[in-house]
Amino acid sequence: MVLHQGVAPGSFIPGPEGIALYVETYGSPTARRVLLLTPGGFQATVCYRHFKRFAQEGYQIVVWDPPMQGLSGPLEPNKEFSATCATDCLQAVISHFHLHERETILVSWSLGTTTTLHFLQTHPEAQQYVIGVVLIAGLLSLPAYFSYLSEHDPKLFHLLTRLQSPDLSISFPAVGEFIERLTSRAFTESLTSTPLALEDWYLLRGSTMFSFGRRGSMPTSSLEHLLPQELLAALPLPICLVQGRLDRLVPVDYIRQIIEAVPDLLYYEYDCGHAPFLELPEQVLRDLSFFFNEPRNA
């Protein structure tokens, strides 16, 4: 299976429990400010390619793939991709590049937002060097997300339940339906430079995006009883949420209820689907540049 054609521009760093984590960096390693990009169920180095332009504006860009996704290595046998594993991987990237010594902005997408929030809640020392957080089309909290879907979008809820099944006769037929629902405008075409086969779509979306919820591996941290708005309100950091009105995976009303509860959050809403930075890159990245430059004044 080929997930990334050509010569990979990045490298591998050691992650927890011997996991080989694939990372790409752009810009000067001595830049004062860093954008650390965490993926949301797809190959991060492809999905975040538009963010590379910020390297020309004085930022260093660090992009990484979690285990089982993109080019990163797999987990050891009988290991689950848990919330702890995800945050340990994120910490490994931070430590390897000494990001705790510089001003770091955490940018995450979709499922990756759950990793970001779990990391910030379990690593309070990160508030000493993290100067801002961007959450794009975020699930934010898996229990809250699935609870919302069960009430407001039972069709999607049952689709994701089937997609998570370890029985391929159940999960595989759900893949096409999931892709069709998720797609908005030219999302599929813009997601990868080379179209992926259905098998690759299944591995990237089905196996990785919802690995937290498969086989009882949904995070059981004490933080999970908190609503997303409680998690966000508890963080003394500038936070920006980005959402597409046409998102067919994370309903816009799910995000709007959070914004109403935490009005101090910076919020951008666009006429697009689940990947605003791919569908409307010029507009979205122009807006985010203000937050990147002055998180506390945006």
Q: pLDDT tens-digit profile of 42-74?
A: 677 767 888 999 999 999 999 998 877 667 877
Q: What is the mean pLDDT of residues 203-208?
A: 45
In the predicted structure, residue 210 carries a pLDDT above the cut 70: no
Q: Could you say which of 3.60.130.10, 3.30.70.100, 3.90.1150.10, 3.40.50.1820 is the CATH number of the domain covering 11-68+84-142+224-293?
A: 3.40.50.1820
Q: What is the mean pLDDT of residues 128-146?
A: 94
Residue 97, SS3 per DSSP: coil
> Do residues 180 and 278 make contact, with C-beta atoms less than 8 angstroms apart?
no
> Do residues 298 and 266 make contact, with C-beta atoms less than 8 angstroms apart?
yes
Name residues whose C-beta falls within 8 Å of residue 70's C-beta, 6 or more positions apart in sequence: 3, 4, 22, 39, 42, 43, 44, 45, 46, 204
Mean pLDDT of the chain: 81
What pLDDT is recorded for position 181? Answer: 61
Whole-angstrom CA distances from 82 to 94, 120, 235 are: 19, 16, 22
The structural domains of the chain, with segments of one domain joined by +, span: 11-68+84-142+224-293
pTM: 0.85
Task: For residue 7, name the pLDDT band (cuts at 50, 70, 90).
Answer: very low
In the predicted structure, residue 6 carries a pLDDT above the cut 60: no
**Smallest Cα–Cα separation from 112: which of 132, 80, 134, 127?**
134
